[in-house]
Amino acid sequence: MNLHLILRPTAVALLWMTSLGLAPEQSHGQSNTNPILIDSAILKTVEVTSVAAQVQGILKEVSVREGDRVKHQSPMAIIQSTASELQLQRAKVALDAAERNFASNIDIDLARKGFEVAENEFLRAVDANKRIQDVYPRAEVDRLQLVRDRANLEIDRAVHLKAISQLEVAKNQIEIKQLQDILDKHQIQAPVSGMVVAMEKRVGEWVEPGTIVIRLVEIDRLRIEGFLQAEQADPKWLGAEAQVELQLSGNRFVTTAKLVFISPEVNPVNSQVRVHLDVDNRDGKLRPGLKPKVSIPTTTP
């Protein structure tokens, strides 16, 4: 299969050509110079992602197969999560109990009522002794005062326990979030968009954390690897984009390429350097492994 790939230079690329002495010269409304050629070009994948299990368990469900294209965060597989689901239910019950306990003021109200009773008894004894000496013996007055002070401390303790119950609510909320996070990890989702190229595990098999389950290859963006003459590979043009015209089996379409890498090493035999260009392949017409002829034309109208 012959694939001809032509890079139509943008303004940045034309400046690059000018610096190399390859910019077109105006002559009768058209200019012609030799194109910049990239030798031994081959299309490769940019990213291969191995999707691993994050928790242990039996692989319960797989919703993709080889050749399927998936989007970022698309569901692909499920690891059995019965134990984690039960733990989450228990944590929700505990949270409900803690919230009810925190919302209740019964202990504080009861402590305050007890203090009021003890306070009234103590004051009555003191007032009675003021009117008639020794109506209440000194020991009895001290006992009533102790009862009042203890009732006052019961209020403080009830307030303290309410604060503890608030912390218990927060603790249960954190536990639920942790369990929910574990449950989310039972859902294997696509970390990137791409194509499923390998299923390493099947339904019913046991997986451990770190076990590779699915392999994805990004095909929306492919990489052209080839060689360019050293004098034409100026590192300052890294990141420059150009429109790419492709002719494949008689079909012509246009996409975008970006210069992303220029090797610092020059081959002493042929004075070439290795270069990488990333090509937009969202339409899926290009496939890794093809060996295109690549040129940057310097002929413009």
* Among candidate residues 97, 94, 141, 84, the one with its CA nearest the CA of residue 118: 141
> How high is the pLDDT of residue 113?
96
H-run or E-run covering 198? strand 194-199
Is residue 16 very low, low, confident or very high in pLDDT (cuts 50, 70, 90)? very low
Query: Tokens for 204?
Result: 């019913």
- The answer to whether 245 and 3 have CB atoms below 8 angstroms apart is no
CATH class of 3-46+218-296: mainly beta
> How high is the pLDDT of residue 15?
44
Residues 6+ positions from 272 with CB-CB distance below 8 Å: 39, 227, 228, 229, 230, 266
* Among candidate residues 151, 269, 178, 278, the one with its CA nearest the CA of residue 225: 278
Question: Which fold would CATH assign to domain 54-79+187-210?
Answer: OB fold (Dihydrolipoamide Acetyltransferase, E2P) (2.40.50)
CA angle 282, 286, 289 (to 5 degrees): 135
Give the Cα separation of 54 and 189 in Å (integer): 11
Query: Tokens for 216?
Result: 């994805």
Query: Tokens for 157?
Result: 């303790």
- Per the model's pLDDT, the better-predicted residue between 191 and 257 turns out to be 191
Tens digits of residue pLDDT in 132-147: 888 899 999 999 999 9
User: Phi and psi dihedrals of 101, rounded to 5?
Assistant: -65, -40
Domains 3-46+218-296 and 54-79+187-210 share a fold: no
Query: Tokens for 22?
Result: 């390859």
Query: Tokens for 176?
Result: 């639920």
Averaged over 148-160, what is the pLDDT?
A: 95
pTM given for the model:
0.66
H-run or E-run covering 206? strand 206-207
Looking at the predicted structure, is the pLDDT value of residue 7 above 50? Answer: no
- Per the model's pLDDT, the better-predicted residue between 14 and 98 turns out to be 98
Looking at the predicted structure, is the pLDDT value of residue 23 above 70? Answer: no
- The answer to whether 65 and 197 have CB atoms below 8 angstroms apart is no
Looking at the predicted structure, is the pLDDT value of residue 105 above 90? Answer: yes
Mean pLDDT of all residues belonging to the chain: 84
Looking at the predicted structure, is the pLDDT value of residue 37 above 80? Answer: no
**What percent of the chain has a predicted confidence (pLDDT) above 90?**
54
Domain range annotation of the chain? 3-46+218-296, 54-79+187-210, 82-185
HSE toward the beta carbon, residue 208, CA cutoff 13 A: 0
